[in-house]
Amino acid sequence: MNIEGKNQVIEAIKNNVTINKIIIDKNFATRKDDVISLARKNKLKIEFLPKKLMDTKSVTGHHQGYIAETVEFEYSSVEEILEVAKTSENPPFVVLLDGIEDPHNLGAIIRTCECAGVHGIVIPKMRACGVNETVVRTSAGAISHMKIARVTNLKEAIDTLKDNGLWIYACEIGGEEIYSQNLTGPIGLVVGSEGNGIKQSLRTYCDGLVTLPLKGSVNSLNASVSAGIAIYEILRQRESAK
């Protein structure tokens, strides 16, 4: 898998992602460059290539002159996410994504989760986007700091979270307005897919349903936007409760 873009490559090096080789635009070879310095400090293999040749190796088309060739993304387990939460001063906060298929949405959600202090993300293996080059780029380096579990069954993941004291809320239309709910405790937030939302079978498996108010003519929000609003409402409540 490629990690492309200057900031993304820097974050990958800093977070000890296994990198086989870093490819850099040969025009950068003679200038003072943060990526080159960091790569040499960490004894990573560097290859300088012409931009046109780099373009043929790029998956996203936005490499900025930097491509890190890495092993496939290493997913975590739900239990590992809970272990991370235990070391935090804040109650556990996990986001579960039910069928997000657009890599740009997944990358944007990962970035929001990292910024808001979410302890981990759970995604399904089937009928959903996994971590790929576009996701890595859209996350703007946040993926290097976020635990992501990829599971066969979201219900089983929810059971594990419930067994560890988390309350699970689905963010979906038809529930109680999110601003009226107390979301300060251990929580798992389920966000649905771009077109179909959260599956009915999963929605009824949650402890509660929270809804974002819609005041305009359009009856839905982009998945990453609705996730961001809900995540930051939970963060706001937690900060206000301190």
pLDDT score at 194: 74
Instruction: Please report, for the domain that includes residue 199, its CATH number.
Output: 3.40.1280.10
pTM beyond 0.85: no
Please give the C-alpha separations between residue 45 and each of 8, 26, 30, 64, 67, in angstroms, as whole numbers. 17, 14, 17, 19, 12
Pairing status of strand 187-192 against strand 93-98: parallel
Which residues share a beta bridge with 121? 95, 148
Residues 131 and 84 in one domain: yes
Residues 103 and 140 in one domain: yes
Classify each residue of 181-205 as buried b or exposed e, where b means 16 or more C-beta atoms within 10 Å of its C-beta.
bebbebbbbbbbbeeebbbeebbeb
Residues 51 and 152 in one domain: no
pLDDT score at 214: 85
Residues 12 and 123 in one domain: no
Residues 121 and 232 in one domain: yes
CA angle (19, 24, 30) in 5-degree steps: 130
Residues 9 and 106 in one domain: no
Sheet with strand 46-49: strands edge to edge: 2-4, 66-70, 19-25, 46-49
Domain range for residue 224? Answer: 78-241
Residues 121 and 66 in one domain: no
- For 127: left if phi > 0, alpha if psi spans -120 to 50, otherwise beta; the answer is left
pLDDT score at 60: 85
Residues 193 and 168 in one domain: yes
Q: Where among 21, 39, 70 does a domain terminate? A: 70
pLDDT score at 17: 83
Residues 170 and 191 in one domain: yes
For 225, the token pair is 């936007």
pLDDT score at 226: 93
Q: What is the mean pLDDT of each run of 10 residues along the chain (242 residues)?
A: 90 87 92 91 93 90 91 90 94 96 95 97 93 89 92 96 97 90 96 87 92 82 93 95 81
Q: How far apart are CA 68 and CA 8, in angstroms?
A: 9
Provide φ and ψ at 138, rounded to 5°. Answer: -65, -30
Instruction: Please report, for the domain that includes residue 52, its CATH number.
Output: 3.30.1330.30
Provide φ and ψ at 152, rounded to 5°. Answer: -75, -35
Q: Where among 20, 39, 70 does a domain terminate? A: 70
Residues 59 and 85 in one domain: no
Q: Where among 70, 97, 130 does a domain terminate? A: 70
Could you tell me where the DSSP H helices lie in 118-199?
Answer: 133-138, 154-163
Could you tell me where the DSSP H helices lie in the chain?
Answer: 6-14, 34-41, 51-57, 78-86, 103-116, 133-138, 154-163, 200-203, 223-241
Q: Which residue from 137, 142, 104, 99 is spatially nearest to 120, judged by alpha carbons?
A: 142
Residues 37 and 107 in one domain: no
Q: Total domain count for the chain? A: 2
